[in-house]
Structure 1
Amino acid sequence: MKLDEEYGLDRRIGFETDDEENQAERAYQNDDNDDTDSDIVLPSRNASIDLNSPSWPQTYRKSMDMYTSVTPPPSLSFLTGTSFKKISDSFLTSPYKRSHPTLPDSSFNKPLITATSLDNEEVPPSTLPSKLSTSSYSSLSFNELPSPQQCSYAQSVLNAINVLCGIGLLTTPYALKEGGWSSLLLLFVMGIICCYTGILLKQCLDSSPELKTYPDIGQAAFGVTGRILIAIILYMDLYSTCVEFLIMMSDNLSALFPDTHMDFAGFHLDSHQIFAITATLIIIPTVWLQDLSLLSYVSAGGIVTSVLLVLCLLWSGVIDKIGFHPSGTALNLAGLPVTVGLFGFCFGSHSVFPNIYSSMKQPSKFPSVLIISFVASVLIYAGVAICGFLMFGDSTESQYTLNMPKKFVASKIAAWTTVLCPFTKYALTITPVAFSIEELLPLAQQRSYSVSIIIRTVLVISTLVVALSVPYFESVTALIGSLLVMLVSIILPAACYLTILHGRLSKMQVAVCIFIVIAGVLCAIVGTYSAIASIADKMG
């Protein structure tokens, strides 16, 4: 490759990208340019990397694409029998197969960010065909994963809102109670910062057409070490979310059936433990599915779920005459660290933003997609926080559905919605973690469906053990928000942006990013300490 002399060797980054589609694209390029391109690999400015195989994880993008579709895949039709046969056949009957053809070594020698791409402030996404040949695409082929589709502007907005409006919605009244009315300002500030850092991720992706995922960005900024660390953080976030699902389901089922208990083999199980175990037993078969397209379609109704929960809350306050009663303090400094973690948890969707960006028909409109989705999400969060706190005051629980009187129909609808929604999301959330572990196995075990079942079953059971050991929804949520979300949504985007685009940023841009990193680190330290102390107190 010919380098532009004005940038020199330090602007050349030569290491492998992360997902199989990118590898196939580079192989496609090499087939056309073998006569003109040499195989020279120059060292990264971060580290000298010389790997013979692509870096872990390779399955991240394909597994995360399941979160970025508000429409069913073209192959899924509810009006034909074939779709149901496809789903039924995928359940413990289809062999778990992956093919691993070897891509040309030269495909891994091309730099992730070239000097040419660094010439331009904005580099458009790759213009290679989005649908590659079967041989190129089969590097890591998973039957579970729908093919990525190009999304319209409206679909992209819905996708972004869908991933932003999650289970954090239930905790906002409690967060407001802990921090006081002035903490609402913190919600808006965090929304603005997270929206800005989402745009920073887009700028990082634009620095090279080869960048497609968050781990790609981490590798471009900090080498393979950065890629692996970011991937681990992202997978920890997904895993901990699954733990939250189990705690949330057991809490709400316990509220619906509070007198449930069991004595078995000398052990006494209360309602929380019984329902956590029951939910796990029901969830386990869903993670065995080979085709998750139906779950992906159903879970895309997260916006509908959020709207339904909001309507149930308003119905209880107005129609069921619970009423709105002003209470609370202006600012509670003692509870502010908890509020930071809970509000932070609401904006932990940055791991999916690169997928949404890559799937857009018009990627240049991604900043406006983020702005619209963040404005909508912040308004929803603030509205629920205010209404819930006015309704339940100082008795507000960690999930406002636990406060709603169960004698009302709206309360039962809200509780069952909170219970059923995680059933569709759990398998989609744990699957990327399972894939990442399977990648580390020898090739023979990677092709074994029984090994895949064992890994996924063990993962689910492990989340049950954690949920039973630390069944404190608000504390676990605050810990995730303070530690993992602060890293993924605030600290790392700004740090990667500074590293990848250094030398081309204004002093103001550098100052803003440094401020964001410092503020994120301080919030992470204070919030994490507070959450861990709270868990320790409750367990002690």
Structure 2
Amino acid sequence: MAIGAGAAPPHSPYGGWTEDSSTAQALPDFEQPLLQAHGAVQARKQDQAEERDHEAQCSPDADDGASFVRTYFNGLNSLSGVGLLSIPYALAEGGWLSLVLLLVIAMVCCYTGLLLRRCMAESPAVRGYPDIGALAFGAKGRLVVSAFLYAELYLVAIGFLILEGDNLDKLFPRTSLSVGGLAVSGKQLFVVLVAIVILPTTWLRSLAVLAYVSASGVLASVVVVFCVLWAAVVDGVGFQGKGRMLNVSGLPTAMGLYTFCYCGHAIFPTLCNSMKEKNKFSKVLVICFVACTINYGSMAILGYLMYGDDVKSQVTLNLPEGKNISKLAIYTTLISPFSKYALMVTPVAMAIEERLLAGNKRSVNVLIRTLIVVSTVVVALTVPFFGYLMALVGSLLSVMASMLLPCICYLKIFGLTRCGRAETLVIATIIVLGSLIAATGTYSSLKKIVHEF
């Protein structure tokens, strides 16, 4: 359904055609499309190509869309998850004072999420993140945004598989399987088995249905924090970690992991378009960020107080072996990737399906999504460094998708005059901060990955 103020014109501001201009309804907080900013009409062939890409992130829900609560669970699930396990490690890398950076990054990412929402409201043809890039910079903008968007989602999905393999190997050490003379054991075996179990969830195309899966992931995040607290208070681990106030050399890694915790921007346009009441998406977004920040902050403080600088890249790997609460924490941790993997790969899969004109061909869609899962398994087996990989994703791709691109596109679409001096100053500050995180974090993460090899 096209989104616009009043009756939308049949032609988009950058050459595409709206999905249903005759039924476009006005929403209270929407403004008129900026038709003047994108004057030239592109050729019909390019129109059709862009229209297919428009559909890449639209949820083809059979009903009228997801409710406020369902969107909240999907949004919360897109922000919470495996980042929760690495947040104590991030705090250990940066020291206690780096908690201020966690709060700052949370506020910045929430603000840039709201910028994306305003960009979407600027034109009825904007239905996904790549469309925002196209509205701002044309075809080149679409290409750049798509590249960072899909690379981020793809690598995050790989991180899920690595996490599953690590934790299952801790639960069932020395497990092996021999098939046709080929022996597979340990993390490698579990990565493959997990991928097989996750595969059917990637075949779901409705975000309204996927919300039920997301709800389990949100609950799992809360349970993991409780389990870590239980291990400290009841199981005798205690709060013996002294920690450091500040570790300057570890700040790049810490900032990258903090940013990774809030890397849901790639999903936000998809979630917004899946809502029945799209004008309430900004409210959903703010509530999700507040809830996630409370959960992340609690886990970071707990984990660092318990283990100090000895905390591992996944805090569950530090928990005492043989304890029931440790097993519960790990089992619960395993739920998050199951609930979130499909949410990450859906935009990637739908983009490929639209480019290949797969449409509603069920068999082709299943094949595409299966091949995506297989490819993530191959990469997960090749680069099994969870902490470093997530820091790299956060420093390079998440910073681009969550900080830099929303600000740059927003300034281009609205212009300095409409933004005002105060807002322009805030956005410029975010761009400087994001560039610093991207440069230092990417270098640090790549250096550590190369060193491990």
Q: TM-score band (shorter)?
A: 0.7 to 0.9
Greater CA deviation, 258-267 or 218-227? 258-267
For 1:356 and 1:448, locate their aligned partners in 2 and report how far apart those are by CA, in whole Å.
Answer: 23
Query: Paired residue for 2:436?
Result: 522
- Mapped to 2, the partners of 1:369 and 1:298 lie a distance apart of 18
Alpha-carbon distance between aligned partners in 1 of 2:397 and 2:99, rounded to the nearest angstrom: 22
3-state SS of 1:327 partner? coil
Q: Does 1:53 align with 2:48?
A: yes
Distance 1:155 1:437, change over 3 A: closer
Residues 427/372 of structure 1: CA separation in 2 closer, same or farther (3 Å cut): closer
* Shift in Å, 1:175: 0.4
Q: Tell whether the 8 Å contact from 1:176 to 1:184 is kept in structure 2 after alignment.
A: yes
Task: State the match for 1:15 in structure 2.
Answer: 15
1:460 pairs with 353, 373, 377, which one?
Answer: 373
In the TM superposition, residue 345 of structure 1 has moved relative to its aligned partner by 0.4
Matched position secondary structure for 2:265: coil
Deviating more after overlay: 199-208 vs 179-188: 199-208
Instruction: Return the alpha-carbon distance in structure 2 between the equivalents of residues 284 and 156 of structure 1.
Output: 23
In the TM superposition, 1:115-194 aligns within 5 A as: 145-149=61-65, 151-152=67-68, 157-194=72-109
**Residues 1:61 and 1:435: Cα distance change in structure 2 (over 3 Å):** closer
Identity %: 42
- What is the distance in 2 between the residues matched to 1:533 and 1:377? 30
Residue in 2 that maps onto 1:284: 199
State the partner residue of 1:505: 419
C-alpha displacement of 1:440 = 2.3
Matches of 1:488 and 1:244 in 2, distance apart?
A: 17
User: Which residue does the alignment assign to 1:35?
Assistant: none
Partner of 1:536: 450
Q: Which TM-score applies when normalising by structure 1?
A: 0.73
Q: Does 1:403 align with 2:318?
A: yes
| Residues in 2 aligned to 1:388 and 1:264: alpha-carbon distance in whole angstroms | 40
Q: Return the letter of the residue paired with 1:517.
A: I
Question: Equivalents in 1 of 2:208, 2:291: separation in Å?
Answer: 27
Question: Which protein, 1 or 2, shows the higher relative CO under an 8 Å CA cutoff with sep ≥ 6?
Answer: 2
Asked if the contact 1:59/1:432 (under 8 Å) is kept, the reply is no
Residues 1:213 and 2:166 are matched in the alignment: no
CA distance in 1, matches of 2:73, 2:291: 10
User: Bigger shift: 307-316 or 508-517?
Assistant: 508-517
Q: Please give the secondary structure, in 1, of the residue aligned with 2:53.
A: coil
TM-score by length of 2: 0.86
Q: Distance in 2 between matches of 1:362 and 1:298?
A: 21
Q: How far does residue 356 in structure 1 lie from its aligned partner after superposition?
A: 4.3
Contact 2:56 2:354 in 1 (8 A): no
- Structure 1: gaps spanning 5 or more residues: 1-11, 18-22, 30-40, 64-141
Query: Aligned letter for 2:216?
Result: G
Give, in angstroms, the shift of residue 386 of structure 1.
Answer: 0.6
**Aligned equivalents of 2:209, 2:231: Cα separation in 1:** 32
Task: Give the superposition deviation at 1:157.
Answer: 4.7
* Corresponding residue number in structure 1 for 2:4: none
Shift of 1:419: 1.9
- Say which SS state the counterpart of residue 418 (structure 2) adopts: coil
CA 1:14–1:453: 2 relative to 1, 3 Å: closer
Cα 1:48–1:536 shift into 2, 3 Å: farther
The one-letter code matched in structure 1 to 2:428 is I
One-letter code aligned to 1:380: N
The answer to whether residue 382 in structure 2 is matched with residue 469 in structure 1 is yes
- Residue in structure 1 matched with residue 154 of structure 2 by the alignment: 239
Q: C-alpha separation between the residues in 1 aligned to 2:123 and 2:366? A: 37
Other-structure match for 2:119: 204
Contact 1:296 1:428 in 2 (8 A): no
The structure carrying a bigger helix percent of its residues is: 2
- Report deviation, 1:470: 0.3
Structure 2 residues without counterparts, runs of 5 or longer? 1-11, 25-34
RMSD over aligned Cα atoms: 2.8
Q: Distance in 2 between matches of 1:450 and 1:356?
A: 25
How far residue 42 of structure 1 moved from its aligned partner, in angstroms, is 7.8
Q: Which protein is bigger by CA-based radius of gyration?
A: 1
